[in-house]
Amino acid sequence: MDAPILYFGFDGLKFTIQADIPEAFREELASAKKHAQETHGECVLQLGPIALNVTNKGARGFTAHTGDHGAVWLFQDPQDRIPNNPGITVDFRAFGLATGGLEGAEKHFRTCMDAFRINYVETQLRVARADFAVDLLAPWFEPDREALVVPPGTKVTEYTGVDETATVSSGARVVGLRAGAVANRQLAIYDKRGEIIQQNKMGWLTIWNASLAAIGRPPLDLSDRATSQVWRFEMRLGSKQLRNKFEMRSWQDVHDTIGDAFTDALRRIRYCMPTTDSNRARWPTHQLWQQFEAVIGNDLLHNCAGVLPSEVIQANRTAKMRELDAQLSGLFVTRAAISDVSADDFDDFLERHVEALARIAREHASPIADRLSKVRARYRLL
């Protein structure tokens, strides 16, 4: 059956660096973290070309990010080190990987390390995790736990909701399977359409529709599951594979051997079409698994989606604005109802109440300019 590939590429990549941050950078982070704690928000440090959002998190260190097309950065405090923990952890975001691939992630990493004035050598890097995903438009498919052929002892989990980790009821529609452990090797097959609707990450819809347009097909209507069901096949490799087995210690190691690591993982797990044959090794491989294998085997490193980051950002921003407008509309209706406003008078009520809200905003303890700046910094991830 027809199953167009809407996206393929890295969905996660995490490095650790065995290095300490310089004292001047530590002082900047400490000051920004204190400000974030006082304002219950985030503080933006402009470091050359990099805008670093410092959060109020991190009990013995600093947590920051460089936006949804960048990465999450965890810095150990050199003055309060946790023993045996790496000094720096960088976890690249999915949208940045989707639009820039490995090359974009490496460029962002080096630009940031220069901006943060952190001295390091390549041998101080360790690859902690890498996820590779393929999105397939296959409304006719539903995951079947019995179809997974995995090594003995591998834990397989079936779930029926985005946030659930076990089967809730036998009659529920299965929306995902997981097999294995993240620290070692894990396969996930799940309903990506449902996830982006729930999390309002409509940038993925932009990426998918660009792929459909490239093959002359109409865009997806996510309101119609029967025609827009997208399944993600995702292989996740942890430190036991990347660091211990394949000895990835640098960006060059990733470029040279990441394909070998994923190919090896695919030899150990298969998604099949069950038959009456008692020997599961003879079951034929499922069509979607064949496509998944083909992408990893043939084109692993060429994983850009052909969509500009600005297009994804705009799609996410538009989705967020619609979400907020819907919330505002509901609040106004509720406020009008408890004020005994009739349907005929609702429009006039809106106009009058907007003036009252503007007055309340002006009378707030924090100036509106500061509050706008705080919210803009928070929603850089869109």
Q: Is residue 45 in some structural domain?
A: yes
Integer Rg of the chain from CA? 24
Q: Is residue 251 in some structural domain?
A: yes
Supply angle C-alpha 30, 32, 34, rounded to 5. Answer: 70
**Whether residue 299 sits in one domain with residue 319:** no
Using pLDDT thresholds of 50, 70 and 90, give the confidence band for residue 254.
confident
- Per-residue pLDDT tens digits for 20-32: 999 999 999 999 9
CA-CA distance, 23 to 32, in Å (whole number)?
Answer: 14
Task: Give pLDDT, residue 171.
Answer: 42
**Whether residue 47 sits in one domain with residue 168:** no
**Whether residue 317 sits in one domain with residue 193:** no
Q: Is residue 276 in some structural domain?
A: yes
Q: Is residue 357 in some structural domain?
A: yes
**Whether residue 295 sits in one domain with residue 281:** yes
Query: Mean pLDDT, to the nearest integer, of 134-144?
Result: 93
CA-CA distance, 186 to 238, in Å (whole number)?
Answer: 8
**Whether residue 322 sits in one domain with residue 300:** no
Q: Is residue 241 in some structural domain?
A: yes
The residue with tokens 């000094």 is 87
Choosing from 77, 96, 119, the residue where a domain stops is 119
Residues 6+ apart with CB under 8 A from 323: 200
Query: Mean pLDDT, to the nearest integer, of 148-170?
Result: 60
Our count of domains for the chain comes to 3
3-state secondary structure of 145: helix
**Whether residue 377 sits in one domain with residue 255:** no
Q: Is residue 15 in some structural domain?
A: no
Give the pTM.
0.80
CA-CA distance, 67 to 380, in Å (whole number)?
Answer: 6
- Per-residue pLDDT tens digits for 227-250: 999 999 999 999 999 888 888 888
pLDDT surpasses 70 at 308: no
User: Domain containing 323: what range?
Assistant: 310-381
- Joined together, the tokens standing for residue 325 give 């407008």
Share of the chain above pLDDT 70, in %: 91
Task: Give pLDDT, residue 380.
Answer: 62
**Whether residue 109 sits in one domain with residue 78:** yes
**Whether residue 183 sits in one domain with residue 233:** yes
**Whether residue 352 sits in one domain with residue 229:** no
Sheet architecture: strand order including 71-76: 43-47, 50-54, 61-65, 71-76, 88-92, 5-17, 125-137, 230-238, 185-191, 176-181, 156-159
Choosing from 268, 285, 307, the residue where a domain stops is 307
pLDDT surpasses 50 at 18: yes
Q: Is residue 39 in some structural domain?
A: yes
Task: Give pLDDT, residue 306.
Answer: 55
CA-CA distance, 329 to 339, in Å (whole number)?
Answer: 15
- Per-residue pLDDT tens digits for 97-123: 988 888 999 999 999 999 999 999 988
Choosing from 89, 119, 149, the residue where a domain stops is 119
Neighbours of 88 (CB within 10 A): 22
**Whether residue 153 sits in one domain with residue 294:** yes
Burial of 51 (0-12, 13-18, 19+ CB in 10 A): middle
CA-CA distance, 54 to 62, in Å (whole number)?
Answer: 7
Q: Is residue 125 in some structural domain?
A: no
**Whether residue 228 sits in one domain with residue 106:** no
